[in-house]
Amino acid sequence: MGSEELLLESGKSSELSAVLHTISESEINGEPKFSPIVCRELGKMVVCRTYATPIMELCHLIVCAHDLSPQKNRYEFLFWDSGAAHSSNFRHYCHSALQNENGDRLTIDTNGLQIQYSDGGFAIQFSRMPVLSALMEFLLTALGYCDIDDIFQTMLGGELSRKSVSEAANTLSRLVYAYLREHLPTAQSQRKFRKILAFCEDDVDAIDDSLILNFWQEASVDEDKGVDFKTFDSVLSTFIRAIQAVESARSLMALNYATTIGSEREAGEIDPDFLSETLDSVSETISPLLQLSSPPLDQVKFLNKQESAHLENLLGAGELALRLPLSILRANVFTKPQAKLTQALRRQEKVHHLKEIIAQGPEETYQDRQITYQNLRNHIERSIYASLHALALARSHETISVMLKLDPNIDFSPLSQHLGLEVTPDQGNVVQLHSRRVADHFIELVQKSENVGQDIAQLMQNAQKAYSGLSRKGFKDEVSQSPDLVQAFSLGAALLLDVARDIEAFLERLDQIRLAEGNWQKQFSHDLGVFCGQFDKIYAKG
């Protein structure tokens, strides 16, 4: 495939990218309509092509929306007059709307809606509705309202049954298939993958920090217009993806998964569900960041934008951060100056300006970045302790879970004596303290330090101190009055613990690394020369 065709391909992919960005930027009443985690689910559905089942669910939801609509023959209100796409808003809308609904097809309970047809029923949970709403937005934005509305009107105008809804879903799926076939071209990414494989001589196990740096030095000045390897961070993420792809394919082969592929699939295709699982698996470490910025956890500002940004490269690399630690630091430190150069180039600034930017160098050294990670780790630990105090204030049973996660070896014997329990080494604390009866006592006791022994008292004192020191959103709210806030502190603390462990593991890895230049200061000076020299070749050779 020639460069021109590759550029054309890139244009088609940009159209799809614009659709997804538009959706992620959609606002309603001044807040984002879809949470980051919902947008990610939508992206996953698109790239893994796992849209068939969600489209069927959506068609059933359209029937519900139609039945709940205050105006005849409309279905839009459920999606665009119910506020931001959160489960709680859909629950509220459906409860209110159902009071005015005359038909007998719909029923509602605490989890969702059930719809009864002559040939069977279908249930949709409120927790599923935000993703289905995002899918609806995607269909209408990408394929157009008129074409999609025609399909829905035909479905709603006929005799409704599970079968007729499935037929409408199949028609929609075919439209999406055709759209994605055009807008998810593979030639460009094929070229990227093959270029990387050629460089490491088909041995991804040989990929290390120096190989990545060598590749970037070569490929960033390559005139190949089809594939852009100019920025170091894009090179690093492509290498990470290549390693993950090969490792996942090896697992697939080990599982003999290929044999489960449906006979209708073309040779070489992979079950979309396996692709979806793979994406979840490689995103496991970055996923806490998304969850922390999505409802219900976003009621508490555990991490601000800058803190999240500092963690993105590290967590996005997953386990490979420990294999490619220097590359992670290089990307962290040198991405900013390279971005400045790219922007200056867009503004068509003169070569001497570009050279000035190069001479300025990065704002931080490798040692600075390690201090940033340590500070982040400390902040996260404080946030977990503060969450523990918030949960104790709310007398939530989750206090115990967080306490045990913070210190699994904590001495619970004074407490167990107080509660009249027998704790033996083979009786785990978790089992005993998770019973609601005991937990009720426990929550009362932990707030009186004289009752709970030194370990627990110390833990709770630290928790109170951390809570007092944090004035971010959520930490000063009346937690005992808000079950949502309790949930946010409970889930948030667990996720933050995962993030803290990942940071600790990375810092430990950096301590153990044997640097080619001997120490971090010399390594940074050496790399500064390499990166500035390369920036000069890429951007300021004129």
Residues at the contact surface with another protein, assessed by CB under 8 A = 13-23, 25-28, 33, 39-40, 43-44, 46-48, 71, 73-74, 76, 80, 137, 140-141, 144-146, 149, 184, 186, 189-190, 192-193, 197, 202-205, 237-238, 241-242, 244-246, 248-250, 252-253, 258, 268-270, 275, 278-279, 282
CB closer to another protein, 16 vs 439: 16
Question: Which H or E run includes 514?
Answer: none
CB closer to another protein, 254 vs 431: 254
CB of 285 to another protein, least distance (A): 15
**What's the gap between Cα 453 and its chain centre?**
40
SS (H, E, C) 457-502: HHHHHHHHHHHHCCCCCCCCCCHHHCHHHHHHHHHHHHHHHHHHHH
Contact 119, 60 (CB under 8 A): no
CB closer to another protein, 192 vs 382: 192
CB closer to another protein, 38 vs 403: 38
CB of 86 to another protein, least distance (A): 15
* 121 closest CA partner among 153, 165, 154, 87: 165
Question: Which H or E run includes 292?
Answer: helix 287-292
CB of 288 to another protein, least distance (A): 17
Neighbours of 197 (CB within 10 A): 14
Which residues are CB-contacts of 300 (< 8 A; sequence separation ≥ 6)? 387, 472, 473, 474, 475, 485, 488, 489, 492
CB of 91 to another protein, least distance (A): 20
CB of 383 to another protein, least distance (A): 24
Q: Which two tokens stand for residue 476?
A: 């000063």
CB of 525 to another protein, least distance (A): 31
CB closer to another protein, 268 vs 542: 268
CB closer to another protein, 161 vs 281: 281
C-alpha to C-alpha distance for 89 and 38, rounded to whole angstroms: 15
Neighbours of 404 (CB within 10 A): 17
CB of 112 to another protein, least distance (A): 23
* 335 closest CA partner among 489, 192, 232, 445: 232
CB-based burial of residue 41 (10 Å sphere; 0-12 exposed, 13-18 middle, 19+ buried)? buried
In b/e form, how buried is each residue of 136-172, taking b as 16+ CB within 10 angstroms?
bbbbbebbeeeebeebbeebbeeebebebbebbbebb
Contact 489, 391 (CB under 8 A): yes
| DSSP-assigned letter for residue 447 | T
Question: Which H or E run includes 108?
Answer: strand 106-108
* 27 closest CA partner among 87, 80, 76: 80
CB closer to another protein, 18 vs 371: 18
C-alpha to C-alpha distance for 459 and 415, rounded to whole angstroms: 13
Q: Which two tokens stand for residue 42?
A: 């939508």
| DSSP-assigned letter for residue 201 | T
Residue 521 sits at φ, ψ, to 5 deg, of: -65, -45
Q: Which two tokens stand for residue 306?
A: 């800058």
CB of 250 to another protein, least distance (A): 6
CB of 295 to another protein, least distance (A): 18
CB closer to another protein, 269 vs 407: 269
CB of 100 to another protein, least distance (A): 18
CB closer to another protein, 166 vs 251: 251
The answer to whether the peptide bond before residue 325 is cis (omega within 30 degrees of 0) is no
Amino acid, single-letter form, for residue 185 = P
CB closer to another protein, 12 vs 522: 12
Q: Which residues pair with 115 in a beta bridge?
A: 106, 122
CB closer to another protein, 193 vs 520: 193
CB of 47 to another protein, least distance (A): 4
CB closer to another protein, 21 vs 174: 21
CB of 265 to another protein, least distance (A): 11
CB closer to another protein, 5 vs 368: 5
C-alpha to C-alpha distance for 156 and 105, rounded to whole angstroms: 13
Residue 162 sits at φ, ψ, to 5 deg, of: -55, -40
CB of 294 to another protein, least distance (A): 14
CB closer to another protein, 271 vs 477: 271
CB of 20 to another protein, least distance (A): 5
